[in-house]
Amino acid sequence: MTPNKEDYLKELYKLGGSERLVSNKQLSQTLKVAPASVSEMLAKLNQEALLTTEPYKGAKLTKDGIEIAVSLLRGHRLWEVFLIRHLGYSWSEAHEDAELLEHVSPSRLTNRLERFLNYPAYCPHGNAIPDQNGQIKEGSLMLLSTLEAGKTALIKKVQEEKELLDYLQIQGIEIGSKVTVLAVDAYEGPYTLAFKDKTIQISHKAACQIYVSANDECL
């Protein structure tokens, strides 16, 4: 299977395609490819029984499609842990090279990598790593952008997108760290956060891509 096909399955999964139909439009926006190419590829994957399509509604993964998508995510996230922990990669560098490595990692390799890393539960960006049976335990999280001024929460996960990852890492954002929202500017203005011993500002757009959990002890 070509990486291109695999990327479709993975993106479909990330957009919720294991449970519901994902529209061609959503896929074409995420993958940044023309709608015509999306339709063509979905037809091929449908023929291979990796997904089912419904005219004008979109596509949903089959059991086989889910299995491939989950094993790609497992490889991706384990490699990210390795690259950051052992090779000194930055957040975005790790994501970038994990995109390549995930396509050339048979389960023998990812299983040994997982053991070598001592069974990490999350990738460095906070995404849960599926276990050997493909099970993922995702907690329920909310977006930082939904918090009002005065609230405190723990940063749990960030979207894996190069520019965002670089931006957040420069700001010193870390998974598991505690933030307090000091102020939210009107009209989708910046969020002022108390974080560690400093005050930082992040854009509204970034706040919409950071997931937090309101830990009891923080409230």
Chain residues in the site for Zn ion (CB under 5 A) = 80, 123, 125, 160
Report whether 176 contacts 137 (CB < 8 A). Answer: no
Report the nearest approach of Zn ion to the CB of residue 78 (Å): 10
How far is the CA of 69 from the CAs of 27, 46, 102, 109, in angstroms? Answer: 15, 15, 10, 17
Report how far residue 189's alpha carbon sits from residue 84's, in angstroms, rounded to the nearest whole number: 32
CB nearer to Zn ion: pick between 60 and 125:
125
Of the candidates 160, 157, 141, 210, the one whose C-alpha atom is nearest the C-alpha of residue 181 is 210
Report the nearest approach of Zn ion to the CB of residue 10 (Å): 13
CB nearer to Zn ion: pick between 65 and 75:
75
CB nearer to Zn ion: pick between 114 and 160:
160
Report the nearest approach of Zn ion to the CB of residue 111 (Å): 19
Tokens 């959503």 — which residue?
26
CB nearer to Zn ion: pick between 7 and 160:
160
Residue nearest to Zn ion (CB): 123
Burial 69-83 (b: 16+ CB within 10 A, else e): bbbbbbbbbbbbbbb
Report the nearest approach of Zn ion to the CB of residue 127 (Å): 5
